[in-house]
Amino acid sequence: MPERLLLDLGAPPPVPEEGIAAAEAVLRSGWTHRYGETLGDASEAALLEAEFAAHLGTRYCVAVNSCGSAMFLALLGAGVRPGDRVLMNAFTLAPVPGAVAHAGAEHVLIEVTPDLVIDLADLERKAAASGARHLLLSHMRGHICDMTRLMALCDRLGIAVIEDCAHTMGASWAGRPTGTFGRAGCFSLQAYKHVNGGEGGLIATDDDDIAARAILYSGSYMLYRQHRARPPEAAFARWKDMTPNYSMRMSNLVAAVARPQVALLAERARIWNDRHGRLVALLGALPGIRLPHRPQEEAFVQSSIQFAVAGLEGPAFARFLAACRARGVYLKWFGAREPEGYTSVSGQWRYLAEPHTPPVTEAVLERLCDMRIPLAMTEQDCATVARIVGEELAEARTP
């Protein structure tokens, strides 16, 4: 019988005992909602915001119900209005274009390189052609572009940057954390991300108006003083009577589960990056596999791995994927013709004004494999994955 990987590659990071105890305390207290006339600023959500802002080094943090909501509110706070054009990576996950659509804006899709980062030359061309003044930048699957060059380009063109950091909590470029380059950084607490809150989002910013508007938009019921990491009163005075309540708050229950995990980020990053490095060495030694180049300035937190397969036509590649999955190695494929599970590409987002996948990006994704790296993965598991992939690649290439 062929060897099979027994590890569940879809397993999310575990919730530590401290988080379970904190969640139980919230449930016993009944204070699951983050606001209350007598609650003060010591709610779990308020404490999470203050602790994450201190961790990241930003002045403010606003906790909301998802990273998609965080991106939507950050776009609104940065001045995006219905009909505006928003630049974005063509390779990303569906909540990113969803946030642009939620804001009533138009998508301008930018090519990605074979290293899975935004193409800066294409960004400059399409920014000039479209007149767009906002970029929703995804650090997709943890891959960080040259942020020094990108910010210089955007500053020169007058483009406001919102960072989607769903896959880069704890990561940095040239020593500077992702989420601190643009006007706001948006982070995810979804179950498969670096901090597992089940669902949730964080908006980190130094901008008084973005923070005040996000708090009001998220639904503070004029109890915004119960936020610890909040801007001055003057910022709320500018916006409180003209900002609708979109009810996108984070609950105290999610915050209680998430808070202890922020302190675990460094250790989790060590484990993920160790396993990623082992997989890179093993998979990179297989013929016909290409892994993205990672620049020296990039300090990533890689809870997944991506690699491209060369030399397989469509039917053979489909057989390769199916055979790996049958042996427990679940590889996602972003180049599939139809969306499946968490995967989709821009040509499949029919709600776009002009649904398409830009040609270079389409070629990059054509044979791109994506695999989660669970924290429970061992050195032996890495070797098992590489053996299975190697064997099934050889089998798929057999005439």
Cα 373 → chain centroid: 15
Residue 140 reports pLDDT greater than 90: yes
What pLDDT is attached to residue 339?
86
What pLDDT is attached to residue 346?
92
Write out pLDDT tens, residues 345-361: 899 999 999 999 999 99
Residue 399 reports pLDDT greater than 90: no
What pLDDT is attached to residue 397?
92
CATH 3.90.1150.10 residue ranges of the chain are 265-397
Angle between helices 17-29 and 252-262 (to 10 degrees): 160
CATH 3.40.640.10 residue ranges of the chain are 17-262
The domain made up of 17-262 is a member of CATH 3.40.640.10: yes
What pLDDT is attached to residue 343?
85
Q: What is the pTM of this model?
A: 0.97
What pLDDT is attached to residue 340?
86
The domain made up of 265-397 is a member of CATH 3.40.50.300: no
Alpha carbon separation from 208 to 215, 229, 330 (Å, rounded):
11, 11, 44
What pLDDT is attached to residue 344?
87
* Residue with more model confidence, 149 or 337: 149
Beta carbons of 16 and 259 less than 8 angstroms apart: no
Two tokens, residue 339: 């969306």
Buried b (16+ CB within 10 A) or exposed e, 348-384: ebeebeeeebbeebbebbbbbbbbbbbbebeeebbeb
